[in-house]
């Protein structure tokens, strides 16, 4: 769209220049007033062929021929440029949509972000940093243009509609972020998402505190209030500045090679049904630390000691360098296969 705006500006600039050139010439050569000069310029450039305001002198005829040759060709060039741009954009948009749709069709275990406002953009940035497949849905064309320019998959549609969610393959998605503008829309979206894919993990925003409980009852796995979270973090940054700074470094600063990740322990994992002291390779080989264990039933064990048993279905919350976390993930995937 930007190139179309630019070329339209050039086209109207050329037209304005030719009109100004013609008016100036007729006023100087033939002594016309500004309106008669404008009239003569317009009928000349449009090749209409109406009668002249008054008979032209030889100099006026020469100028009129120059204006006719230069002006008409200039306007035809501008029209051709504008027309070709429109056709190019139509074809490019068609093929781009086809290409994006093919990419969406092939997605598995991806994440869907519904709404690309400030909250949605923050979620997209974090998911991209985690190097997971992401597709964004928004009904604002300018926002979808931002998504595509950022190198992500974007769909211009209403994310509360079932056909839209099916179009981004929600049945194969791993998670969904509901970041729409109103709590009512997020509630409706959560219900639709859980109906189409009961196993999907839904994280949603809530502007009002009373909406949080409704969203959880609708099936949301995680509900975040941006305003409450921001206020809490501001207070924490004053009371515990070093703790807040450490968490920001660990979670947000791309210059710091440190991350926190979760790993599920499946039945086939060699880590299952063992104690932490049996897993010396976690620290020796990978240099990572187990911060907590999320039990299959939902309980959280913080700072587990060496006697803590790891059960099938548990999630290990692990901190370490990003390269070490990737190696550990590859090891777990190899042992689970």
Report the C-alpha gap between 61 and 237 in whole angstroms.
Answer: 80
Instruction: Say what the pTM is.
Output: 0.58
For the chain, domain boundaries: 2-102, 108-224, 257-336
Report the C-alpha gap between 209 and 319 in whole angstroms.
Answer: 32
Name the CATH superfamily for 257-336: Regulator of K+ conductance, C-terminal domain (3.30.70.1450)
Report the C-alpha gap between 236 and 80 in whole angstroms.
Answer: 61
Give the strands of the sheet with 259-264, arranged side by side: 259-264, 315-320, 289-294, 300-302
- In terms of pLDDT, which residue wins out, 33 or 282? 33
Looking at residue 333, its pLDDT comes to: 67
Contact partners, residue 102, CB within 8 Å, separation at least 6: none
250 has pLDDT over 90: no
CA 296 to chain centre: 33
The enclosing H or E element of 228 equals helix 226-239
Tokens of 44: 């000349």
Tokens of 309: 């048993």
Mean pLDDT of the chain: 83
Buried b (16+ CB within 10 A) or exposed e, 79-115: eeebeebeeeeeeeeeeeeeebeeebeebeebbbbbb
Kindly report the CATH number that applies to the domain delimited by 2-102. Answer: 1.10.287.70
Query: 42-58 pLDDT, tens per residue?
Result: 888 887 777 777 888 88
Beta strand pairing call for 222-224 and 201-205: parallel
CATH class (in words) of the domain with range 108-224: alpha beta
Weakest mean pLDDT among 23-32, 173-182, 276-285 = 276-285
Tokens of 278: 């049996």
175 within 8 A of 219, measured Cβ to Cβ: no
Q: 264: pLDDT confidence band, cut at 50, 70 and 90?
A: confident
- Tell me the mean pLDDT in the region 3-25: 84
Tokens of 219: 């099936």
Report the C-alpha gap between 260 and 317 in whole angstroms.
Answer: 7
């Amino acid at each position: 769209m930007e190139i179309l705006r630019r070329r339209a500006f050039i086209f109207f600039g050329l037209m304005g220049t030719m009109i100004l050139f013609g008016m100036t010439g007729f006023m100087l050569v033939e002594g016309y007033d500004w309106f008669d000069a404008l009239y003569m310029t317009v009928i000349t450039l449009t090749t209409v062929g109406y009668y002249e305001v008054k008979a032209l002198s030889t100099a006026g005829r020469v100028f009129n021929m120059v204006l006719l040759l230069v002006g008409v060709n200039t306007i035809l060039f501008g029209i051709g440029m504008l027309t070709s741009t429109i056709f190019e954009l139509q074809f490019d948009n068609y093929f781009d949509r086809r290409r994006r749709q093919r990419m969406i069709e092939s997605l598995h275990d991806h994440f869907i972000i519904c709404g690309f406002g400030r909250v949605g953009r923050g979620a997209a940035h974090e998911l991209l940093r985690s190097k997971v497949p992401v597709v964004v849905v928004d009904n604002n064309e300018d926002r979808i243009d931002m998504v595509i320019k950022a190198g992500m998959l974007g769909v211009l549609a209403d994310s509360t509609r079932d056909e839209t969610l099916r179009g981004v393959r929600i049945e194969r998605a791993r998670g969904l972020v509901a970041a729409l503008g109103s709590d009512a829309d997020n509630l409706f979206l959560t219900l639709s998402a859980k109906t189409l894919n009961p196993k999907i993990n839904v994280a949603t925003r809530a502007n009002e505190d009373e909406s949080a409980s409704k969203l959880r009852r609708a099936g949301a796995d995680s509900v975040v209030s941006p305003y409450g979270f921001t206020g809490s973090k501001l207070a924490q940054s004053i009371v515990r500045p070093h703790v807040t700074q450490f968490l920001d470094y660990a979670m947000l600063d791309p210059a710091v090679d440190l991350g926190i990740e979760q790993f599920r322990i499946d039945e086939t994992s060699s880590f299952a049904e063992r104690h932490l002291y049996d897993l010396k390779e976690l620290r020796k080989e990978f240099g990572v630390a187990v911060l907590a264990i999320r039990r299959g039933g939902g309980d959280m064990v913080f700072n587990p000691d060496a006697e803590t048993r790891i059960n099938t279905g548990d999630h290990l919350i692990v901190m370490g360098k990003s390269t070490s976390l990737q190696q550990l993930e590859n090891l777990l995937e190899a042992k689970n296969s």
